[in-house]
Amino acid sequence: MEKLDKRMEELLQSEGDLTEKQRNILAAATEMFAQKGFAATSTSEIAKRAGVAEGTIFRHYKTKKDLLLSIVSPMMLKMISPFILKDINKVLDQKYERFEDFVRAMIKNRQEFLENNLQVIKVVIQEIPFHPELRDEFIKHVGQKVYQRFLETVQFYQAKGQIADIPPAMVLRYVSSVIIGYFGTKYVLTPEGWDDEKEIDEMIAFLAKGLAPV
Partner DNA sequence: ATGTAAAGTGAGTAATCACTCACTAATTTT
Partner DNA sequence: AAAATTAGTGAGTGATTACTCACTTTACAT
91 interacts with, out of DNA, its own copies, none, CB within 5 to 8 A per kind:
none
Q: Are the C-beta atoms of 38 and 66 separated by less than 8 Å?
A: no
Q: From the CB of 209, what's the least distance to its own copies, in Å?
A: 5
Whole-number CA gyration radius for the chain? 20
What residues between 86 and 125 interact with DNA by CB under 7 A? none
Stretch that binds DNA, among 14-22, 76-84, 146-154, 178-186 (CB under 7 A): 14-22
Picking from 32, 39, 126, 37, the residue whose alpha carbon sits closest to that of residue 75 is 126
Picking from 45, 47, 76, the residue whose alpha carbon sits closest to that of residue 61 is 47
Residue 178 binds its own copies (CB under 8 A)? yes
Task: Please select the residue that binds its own copies; options are 93, 180, 187, 196, rule is CB under 8 A.
Answer: 180
Size of the site for DNA (CB under 7 A): 21
Q: What is the b/e burial string over 64-89, where b = at least 16 CB atoms within 10 angstroms of the residue's CB?
A: beebbbbbbbbbbbbbbbbbbbeeee
Cα three-residue angle 60-65-68, rounded to 5 degrees: 80
Q: Which letter does DSSP use for residue 130 in this model? A: G
Residue 21 binds DNA (CB under 7 A)? yes
| Residue whose CB is less far from DNA, 123 or 211 | 123
DSSP H/E element including 62: none
Ramachandran angles phi, psi of 52, nearest 5°: -145, 150
Residue 62 binds DNA (CB under 7 A)? yes
Residue 73 binds its own copies (CB under 8 A)? no
| Residue whose CB is less far from its own copies, 23 or 65 | 65
Binding site for its own copies (CB under 8 A): 36-37, 39-40, 122, 126, 129-130, 166-167, 170, 173-174, 176-178, 180-182, 185, 199, 202-203, 206-207, 209-212
Chain residues in the site for DNA (CB under 7 A): 19-22, 41-45, 52-56, 58-60, 62-65
